[in-house]
Structures are given as C-alpha cells and as structure tokens.
Structure 1
C-alpha cells in the first residue's frame, strides 16, 4: 500500500481480504504476498469487559455485537484504513453457517458501509496460488477437517467430506496424556504429578506445547504403538522419543515424556466407530466423484490449514492413504496407486488468504461481488444452497451487456493463471 495512497483521485483502492478462521483470523490487502496481521478470533467486549470467541455465540444479537467490535479492532488497529473506501474479500469455508455469513455481511454493510463483499470458498481460492483448475483440497483447521474436490474450477459440492478432527482434538488428547504422565517441578522441589498441582491446562499453553514439541510419527512406529496399546504390552512399544521440559509461570517446569509427544497427534488417524479418519475423508471424497475425475484429483492433492503444519503431517497422511488402498473396502473401487501433493507458495495456514488476495487484485472482482445496494434491498447473501433472487453487480452488468454469467465467474479467473507447480 503506497504511503500517500489517500491522495489518489479516481483510482479504486485495493480490497481488504479477510480469512476468519476458528482459531485465528488473517487480514491484509489484495495484491500482497502475506497477511498484514494474524490475530486470535476473539475480542474483549467493551460493555462487559469479557473476552469472547466470535464463533461461540448463542444468538444473532450476541454475534452481531462481537463482530462489530472485532472488525473495529481489525480496521483501526491493524489495517489502519477507512472501511468505506475498500471492497472486501472474505475467504470462508464451504460449510460456514448461514447465520454467521448473514450477520457478517450485515455488520460490513450496515455498520461499516463497505462498497461490496465477495464470499469466496477457501478451498477454491487456494488454487489461485498454484495456477491450477483441478485439485483435491484438504483443510485441516482447528475444529474440523474438510475435504473438497475442485474440478476445472468448479467445487464438487456432493463430494465434500468433513470430520470434527483438528487442532482442538489434538489439544484435548494432549491434555489427557499430560494428566496421566506429566509431572511438574516447582522451585527446585521434587517432581509432582500434574493433577496434584493444576486441574486444567490453559488452551494457549496446550497450543504452544503442541507447536513446539508434538509431531506426527511415521507409519512403522504408529503401527507398533497401536499394537502395544491394544495388547496392553509396553514391551512392544518402540523406543520412545526424548522427553522435554516446558517452562510454566511461577518458576514451574512441566516435564512431558516422549510417548505423549508422539501419541497426541494420533487422534487424527485413529479410526472411529464408523471407521473414519482424515485419511478416509480423502478416499471417500474421490469415490463420490465421477470415475474420470479420480486420477486427476489423486495427482493434485493440496493440504492447507494450521494443523497440516505439524511436522510429518504430509508423509504420514500419504502413508495412511497407501495403506487404505490395500483394504478390501477401497481395493476393489480404486485403480489408483499413487498420490501427488502440491507445495503452495505460502505457509499452509494462510494459503487460502493468499488466494483471496490474488483474486481481490483482479478487475473481475467488482463483477463477482455483492454490492451494498443489492444487499440492502433483500438483506440476503446468496450462496450455493440459496435460491434467493438477490441482485448482484454481476447480474446487473450481464443484463446490460448480455454477457453470459459463466464467463465472469471464478472459473475464468482461475483458468487465466495456469502454471506447472512442483509436485
């Protein structure tokens, strides 16, 4: 953003790009290579002085108040711009609740009077960073993991798969492990069991321990660990990883053994009662697609989301996929033997934001956005599951120019930037 951008006349200012995640929100401007700020998705309410998470709401009014203060904090503390001057691009999950996006649009349009908003699926914007039209995108976030195939620029909605497995599940599993085996040493005294000192570990501490100490183990060790747990025989447990000491407040030190570091992330790959894990999500999603799409999707896997940043995530997931292909459930349905993974030009936790920043810098943005005037007429945000006849700028332009709507869509913009990324 130029230093004297506010003095320019007749030039449309770059759009503001938001990626409001379950744990963190990424904000910045279109055309930039990284977000201006990555902040927790929570805010301290001025009325009650209570810190609330914007995704934890019980009513629309409560959500509206939280979003008003949260966006005020974003605009005037981090972006430092006037909301009225800039269009908005919101990168959202395809499973985002309608109540949330409707309330978010209401805050943007009525409170901050932004010119227009584009709600872009995060799985689709991810492909803008790679310049491809076809891929199977796995978003491993905080609350859940969502898999969505995109073929020739079109999301295949019927093939979407999701499970409530992500960063939260890892933190809960890690806390259980620490309560069983963790010890604390206070001011040079002897080590004591964790539960004798504290009943609950703060969420921010669990997150920091996970990022600094936990990892995805390889397939061979995971198989041996599972056999040891099922047979309740510690002698079959492979040589554990090194234990670590984590400093806490008040001069206390938490000692975490190697087993806890290694087992914490296994919750992502453990089969539930329906024999599902994040690895089965990928195969089940591919099976729901037509047979001629399956090979291209298997050759174009993309992993995004903060949970996928854990060490060994990609290698473990690929090993799980190859193992599942030998099972009777998938062996008879698949002729695929290999998978290929793209490496996006950004960290996995803000790859979707970068795609939104790329699209926000294109001239087609104004045609694909929902204008403020159109929203105020109906107060409805149209999406793939809504048949509301809301009037958008693209419909108005197409009516005047008699231009087919499909030629102005995200598909065309994604197809204009083709490349051959590394696999």
Structure 2
C-alpha cells in the first residue's frame, strides 16, 4: 500500500501540514522564513508602501529594490523551514512521499520556482501535485461557489460556476489581517490609555509610553488583542451594549479599549479610505461587486447564494454577519457607485453562505487532502519531468499537457475544478 502524501499549504502567517485522507492538518505552525519577509513572496500584487508616488517613499522604494533577496537566499530559508516541517513535525522521509501543494493561482514565480527546486533537489521528493483554492468546494460537495479568501496581506475573490473558475472575474485587494493590525496599532498608540496595575494610575510620561510602544506592542500582541477584544458588530449596533475591556500586558501594565474602539475594527477592512484612493486600492465589498459584474448576468444569483469564506481573517467574530450587511447596504446605494453597479441592485438580500461545519482557515487544506489520495491529478510534476524541463516549473497549461492521459480528474487547471469524460459533475445545490 502506498504511503499517504504530504499536504502543504504555506500561508502568509501560518503553514498547515499533514497527510492525505485526514480531516484536519496535523500541525498549524508559523510561516517563518527568517530573515526574509514571507509577505514579499506570497502576495499577488505589490505592497501599499511600494505604490505611493511621493518623493520620500519613492526613494525608500528604490533603496528596498537592492534589498530584495536573491533566489539563493530564499532557497536557504525554505530549506530550513521545510526541514523543520518534515523531520520535527511530520516525522517522515520526504523522499518516500508525494507532495500536495496548495497555492495561490497567481503566486509569484520566484517563490514557486524556489519552493519546487528545494523539494526536488534537496529533499528528493518523487512527485509534486499543485492544487488551487477551488479545492475548497470539494468538502462541500458543490461545483458552484463564490470564493472569498481573506488572508494576511490580501483578499482574493473567485467565482466558480458548475466546476469552472471564472478567471476574468477574479479580483484582489491589499485588505487583509495586516490592515486590521495596522489600524489597531495606531489606535493603541494614539488613543488608548496605559495603566500601571500596581498603583492604578494612568501612564502619561512620553518616555515611558515610547518604551511601551516599542517593546510591548509586538505583532503577536496586536493580533491577540484583535482576536480577544474586538468584534465586527452588525451595522447600527447600540454602542451601549458593548462594555470597555482591559487587556493585561507584560509586567504591571494594562491597556483599556473603549466600546467604540472594539466596534470600529470593521471599518479598516470594509470601508473605503483616502489612503485606498491614493493607492488605487479597493475595499472588500467593492471587489466582490466588481467580480459579480464581470460574471454573466444569468449566473450572478447562483453565485450569491453559494458564498464560501476561507482564510483566517474570516474567523473574526461577527465577520459573516457584517459582510452580508455591508453587501446589502452597498446594493441599495449602487446608483452612487462607479462601473455601472446599478445592475447589481437586484441582488439585494440574495447574499447567502454555504452552510458547513468546517473551519474556514483549513477548508482548502481539507479539499487538497481529499483529492491528494487520487492518482488522476494532471497538474503534477515528477522529478524526471522537472529535470527534462531544465529544472524549471511549467505553467499550469503545460502541466496539463504533460499529464494529458488522465481524462477523469477533479483538478485540471486554475479555472476548472471538475473535468469529466463520460460522467457528469456533482450537481450544484445552489438556488
């Protein structure tokens, strides 16, 4: 009996690893490519700091170009990270198992090439199969869905109708969990009060405050405050029903968040800001509606009835309810919006989620685990094919051509989730 394949989903914040035919990842660990910044390699677009036009930031941009790591540096960091996954967590010999990689459709070539190179040349894996976010529909037994992937650095939306991904309607925005962290960090530094818990006095001295800001307000702590203390309440939620909360920092220092700060977290990800206009960036609601506009008019309601949320950011308390309310609110004011969004007015109150019991942050991993046990994945690359191809990773279409003998498949390209020769696809249960 063949050994189970290894399933890897490398995200901007966390990496999920485990084996095929299992319902959950064995481990969820921090994605650590120290000293490199993983967000540089996994985002579909550029960071906000690289898109401004003023002179000072342009100079910083030019300086950072020379700091961009070479592929050799990336390979070294990936080797250390993967070595830890295989031998510390999974306790396996990667040379004896196939690898299933869950990746962003538009993952930068630099990262993709470096990752495959390390797996083949340093870990001697026999085969790598590539799967994309469309696999999240497999555990739900659906072939139609509107996938909203809200991650660390960006949010991506992709409509899928009867097993076919509509790539022309795929949209991305630089709104993700980092947007929430940046907003919360500013709130903590400018508006929140720090207290000394020993004598119950408010710290007002600037030197002490600066020390707290630099030493205590780390990324991990800000993330913990967002998860524990904030909530995306429904629109027009009475602020009187929300009480202030005190968060204990290290030592004898605590911080207090008032009701307004606990509720305003949703504005940083759903509302359009002046900064977004400067950077030609859209909020999440805008890219969802623009994506629906790019779909045929007769499939829009089916997509709206089958919304799928994936990514850790969508697990924040109240995210689902607030998203639906923001979409309905925007549909009632489409006359004021650009791009002819008045066509979407008929979608009011038609936004619904696919009901399921899976965790959004591991839904893609679960789909990859399900199909990883099959031998009919055409988007795979063997070690021999990799060497014959000049040690380069082919594009998705060429991967399909290399494995064109497989007719019955579940994943054939970034735009299809179901491809059949004689059998029919699983019917969609969308309305």
What interval of TM-score do these two structures reach, taking the shorter chain for normalisation?
Answer: 0.7 to 0.9
Deviations 1:324-381 (A, max 9, x none): 112214233453231110134321111111111111122324x441111101122222
Note closer, same or farther for the CA distance 1:268–1:15 as it changes in structure 2 (3 Å cut): same
Q: Does 1:313 pair with 2:319?
A: yes
Deviations 1:73-124 (A, max 9, x none): 00001111100111111111122111111111101111111111112112x0
Task: Check whether the contact 1:130–1:419 (CA below 8 A) recurs between aligned residues.
Answer: no
Return the alpha-carbon distance in structure 2 between the equivalents of residues 250 and 391 of structure 1: 57
Shift, 1:292, TM fit: 2.3
| Aligned residue number for residue 229 of structure 1 | none
Q: Does 1:207 pair with 2:220?
A: no
Q: TM-score, normalised by structure 2?
A: 0.81
| Aligned residue number for residue 310 of structure 2 | 304
Return the alpha-carbon distance in structure 1 between the equivalents of residues 400 and 176 of structure 2: 37
Q: Does 1:81 pair with 2:81?
A: no
Report how many aligned residue pairs link the two structures.
380
Secondary structure, aligned partner of 1:411:
coil
Q: How does 1:41-52 map to 2 (within 5 A)?
A: 41-43=31-33, 51-52=35-36
Return the alpha-carbon distance in structure 1 between the equivalents of residues 115 and 410 of structure 2: 28
Return the alpha-carbon distance in structure 1 between the equivalents of residues 100 and 393 of structure 2: 14
| Aligned residue number for residue 51 of structure 2 | none
Q: How does 1:13-412 map to 2 (within 5 A)?
A: 13-43=3-33, 51-56=35-40, 58-122=69-133, 124-189=134-199, 190-193=201-204, 195-200=209-214, 201-221=217-237, 238-239=239-240, 241-272=242-273, 273=277, 276-327=282-333, 328=335, 329=337, 330-337=341-348, 338-365=350-377, 367-378=378-389, 379-384=391-396, 389=398, 394-395=403-404, 398=405, 409=412, 410-412=417-419
Shift, 1:58, TM fit: 2.2
Deviations 1:142-195 (A, max 9, x none): 101100111222221111111111110001100111112222223513121583
Where in structure 1 are there 5+ consecutive unaligned residues?
1-10, 45-50, 225-237
Return the alpha-carbon distance in structure 2 between the equivalents of residues 380 and 138 of structure 1: 31
Return the alpha-carbon distance in structure 2 between the equivalents of residues 244 and 202 of structure 1: 19
Return the alpha-carbon distance in structure 2 between the equivalents of residues 21 and 349 of structure 1: 10
Secondary structure, aligned partner of 2:213:
coil
Shift, 1:218, TM fit: 1.1
Note closer, same or farther for the CA distance 1:290–1:243 as it changes in structure 2 (3 Å cut): same
Task: Check whether the contact 1:129–1:344 (CA below 8 A) recurs between aligned residues.
Answer: no
Return the alpha-carbon distance in structure 2 between the equivalents of residues 90 and 196 of structure 1: 43
| Aligned residue number for residue 227 of structure 1 | none
Where in structure 2 are there 5+ consecutive unaligned residues?
41-67
Return the alpha-carbon distance in structure 2 between the equivalents of residues 163 and 53 of structure 1: 19
